[in-house]
Chains A and B, each alone.
Chain A
């Protein structure tokens, strides 16, 4: 029966396509699990409390940690966000609420381009712009390089999130006799706040793991260093230098450091999830 065969073929195609979609979804998430379990297996050897609390030990001496790197990563990340968040969010607001003309299109194009610039270039840029004139590597320089990665991402997510706020919300505020800037800051931004915060957290997760921009800017440090105008340790830098070293026990530490790093990123991402799930 002709109709029977066609129907059978159509069903089979339908099923095959469905499995193709599923399979691709599976391949997309596979690397995360592979990386995480591989890190767990290889990093476990060096994974102990002192990893989080001790300074690095010299070659051959067992134990030691990446405590200064964890601190440095926190300091540099916070430093970056301290000024990047307001600048990026305000720029996003400009694009979403005011940006209509040629200047806005130019900004949008520039921001999109910046998003695609390889991070090593940001590092070199930070080196030329800050390290050379200051004549030293510093946390400042690292934060400057990281902001150039952070800001464009947050600008675009902020703009996108603000655009999801219905025009009726702005209209309602306008009709209440609320000034435009107050409407924007206290009503439109508030309406989109969960999405904006998620964007900020995801961008934060991204810069926490960035290595290349820090290589030429903060350089790294074997010791405790909290002065912002001095070279500072950071987890990704430690992982990098341990990994390219010729010593077996440093390789193990690189794995453990990578595990710490990916755990931090994972935690931030989970945080972002929680933020969006809360309240509707």
Chain B
């Protein structure tokens, strides 16, 4: 199995607060990895390390290495802007750009990426991305409507399409369903499964059922430590660590 992301001894601090403690993890190509754990366990902080979203946060510090295809993404030679084009992200709250249409929301990444792309190429990429995000059929007749006019679930799929349009290799999702109703959640979960054929996906979730449904591998975080990571089937049936067992049987968290 090919390893896309190799996290080696990752430690993170916000000021004096030691948020992530010695995380080691390998994320395989074209797999879905869920990161679960109770609130405040550091799972969101962790996933945001993978595309350097903390770079602008004052007081943030880290140590360790994160290798993307063998290159440390925190090395001086790596430009975080280019890194984020390879490692896309979808957020907890659907956040389409206000005052932009559905079309523009998906096109904006390509347009502002500095590469000169023709109008036709952009239109093609927008359609392709919206199809991959399973949104095309619902919006193809309203591409010029504001992105904000869509329902919450559609907005989240629009954000997924927007992330896919710049053709990343890895897609990070930070609790992508926690602001959505069950029907929209089911659609996104189905989508994640489809996307994993082409993309490497890491999903943060505090919903164990969701983790069980969508992931190949599950990592359990507690108080900033990676307690256990294993195949999804193994973790939920026969966890190695007592704390994991306590969590999945609902004894805390």
Residues of A at the B interface (CB closer than 8 Å) are 166, 168-169, 171-179, 182-183, 186-187, 190-191, 193-194, 279-280
Contact A172:B95 (CB < 8 A) given known A177-B81, A177-B85: yes
Additional 12 contacts, C-beta under 8 A, given A177-B85, A190-B100:
A168-B91, A172-B159, A176-B84, A176-B85, A176-B112, A177-B86, A177-B109, A178-B108, A178-B112, A186-B112, A190-B99, A280-B146
Which residue of the partner chain A has the closest CB to B86?
A: A177
CB distance from B252 to the nearest CB of A (A): 30
Residues of B at the A interface (CB closer than 8 Å) are 51, 53, 56, 81-86, 88-89, 91, 93, 95, 97-100, 108-109, 112-114, 146, 148, 159, 162-163, 166
Q: B112 — which chain A residues lie within 8 A by C-beta?
A: 176, 178-179, 182-183, 186-187
Q: Are B88 and A172 in contact (CB under 8 A)?
A: no
Q: Are A176 and B108 in contact (CB under 8 A)?
A: yes
Q: Are A168 and B93 in contact (CB under 8 A)?
A: yes
Candidate in B98, B148, B163 with the most chain A CB atoms within 10 angstroms: B98
Candidate in B89, B93, B99, B113 with the most chain A CB atoms within 10 angstroms: B99
Q: How far is the CA of A280 from the CA of B101 in the complex (A)?
A: 11
Q: A171 — which chain B residues lie within 8 A by C-beta?
A: 53, 91, 95
Q: Are A178 and B146 in contact (CB under 8 A)?
A: no
Q: Are A179 and B81 in contact (CB under 8 A)?
A: yes
Q: B148 — which chain A residues lie within 8 A by C-beta?
A: 280
Which residue of the partner chain A has the closest CB to B51?
A: A175
Q: B109 — which chain A residues lie within 8 A by C-beta?
A: 176-178
Q: Are B146 and A176 in contact (CB under 8 A)?
A: no
13 A-B interface contacts by CB (under 8 A): A168-B95, A169-B95, A171-B91, A172-B162, A173-B97, A177-B83, A177-B109, A177-B113, A177-B166, A178-B108, A187-B97, A187-B108, A187-B112
